Amino acid sequence: MLKPLNLTNKPTPIEKYEFDNFTLHIKRDDLNGLVDSGNKARKLEYLLADALNKKSDVIITAGYLNSNHCRITAYFCSRLGLKSILVLNCLKRKKIEKEGNLLLDYLFGAEIHFLNEKEYKEKENYVEGLIKKLIKKGFNPYYIPTGGSNEIGILGYRDCFLEMVDYLKENKIDGIFCAVGSGGTYAGLLYGKLISNLDIPIYGILVDETIDYFKIKISEILKKLDCQIDEKDFHLIDSYIGKGYGIPYKEEIKLIKEWAKRGIILDLTYTGKAFYGMLKESKKMGFKNPLFLHTGGIFSIFAHKEYLK
Ligand SMILES: Cc1ncc(COP(=O)(O)O)c(C=O)c1O
């Protein structure tokens, strides 16, 4: 059995916020560390343990320009003495500012490869070529898929669910909410729920892609862990994506500003949309005790500051 590295602070706290007619519980996975703040840390504790077991010396991963996952990968690699290579989708941007997560990536010494949107669609081929070149040079590379969402990475969120089991029961939590970007966090929570036999619905608020895409992806990941998932276990919601990935909307920005005044920083790409969706859906369903998993993202707000000024 793969033993995860211990690079972050766990268990993370759960805070209660009383307002309107309910108690909102927030699982603060954004407080798991300073530089490693956010959900990718738990996944990377497993993935990097696997990489070290395989004696890898270079970690390659991919993501959007301001990827939280890439920042935490670069950070952990610098702590572990590994070389990191990030393949970043710079979308349609002509000028790339070193800010937010990207600034940190550089500080951690990551080697960065920028691909435009079209090239990024073929990133698996690009990475394959990169791996071949590295092997030729005598390196032993390890590739982590986008968001660390595979059968290894999601174990971090199985553990997160198990960490919460007693709390969920004691506080009569009626639904758990999280953002869905690459699907691994949701898949891990679902896996934890199934193995602990708890009947609490887990709602995934999509920030990109489609419900069908994630149903297939998550089922395939869980199948690799011998976990059969039933259609009724999926509660995926696509009504809060707005105009697309990374494009915030008015109501979300307003909410982010409101919650910052209570000390909760939500980001514009993931947690802002998920939090907005969670509040709307909880009201609609008459929940009294919803739990929101705060998955981090603080550094990306510095790259999207034009929306928050
Ligand atoms: C801050 C934040 N929250 C949520 C997510 C979504 O998690 P997942 O990729 O596991 O679906 C991500 C990454 O995609 C993220 O960076």
Looking at residue 216, its pLDDT comes to 97
Best residue among 29, 144, 185, 301 to mutate for probing ligand 1, ranked by most atoms within 8 Å of CB: 185
> In the β-sheet with 22-28, what is the strand arrangement from edge to edge?
14-19, 22-28, 290-294, 175-180, 202-206, 235-237
1: burial class by Cβ within 10 Å (0-12, 13-18, 19+)?
Answer: exposed
67 catalytic per annotation = yes
In angstroms, the CA 288 to CA 252 distance is 22
Residue 163, ligand 1, Cβ within 6 A: no
Looking at residue 239, its pLDDT comes to 97
Looking at residue 186, its pLDDT comes to 98
Closest CA to 42 of 55, 62, 27: 27
Nearest CA to ligand 1 atom 12: 181
At 268, give phi and psi (nearest 5°): -85, -20
Note the CATH architecture for domain 41-148: 3-Layer(aba) Sandwich (3.40)
Query: Are the folds of 14-35+150-307 and 41-148 the same?
Result: yes
Q: What residue segments make up the domains of the chain, in order of their start?
A: 14-35+150-307, 41-148
- One-letter amino acid at 99 equals E
Q: How many Cβ atoms sit within 10 Å of the Cβ of residue 270?
A: 27
Looking at residue 144, its pLDDT comes to 98
Looking at residue 271, its pLDDT comes to 98
The domain made up of 14-35+150-307 has a fold known as Rossmann fold (3.40.50)
Looking at residue 66, its pLDDT comes to 94
Residue 275, ligand 1, Cβ within 6 A: no
Looking at residue 94, its pLDDT comes to 73
Q: What is the mean pLDDT of each run of 10 residues along the chain (309 residues)?
A: 97 94 96 98 98 98 97 98 97 84 98 94 96 98 97 98 98 98 98 95 97 97 94 96 96 97 97 98 96 98 92
Closest CA to 212 of 193, 234, 242: 234
Residue 100, ligand 1, Cβ within 6 A: no
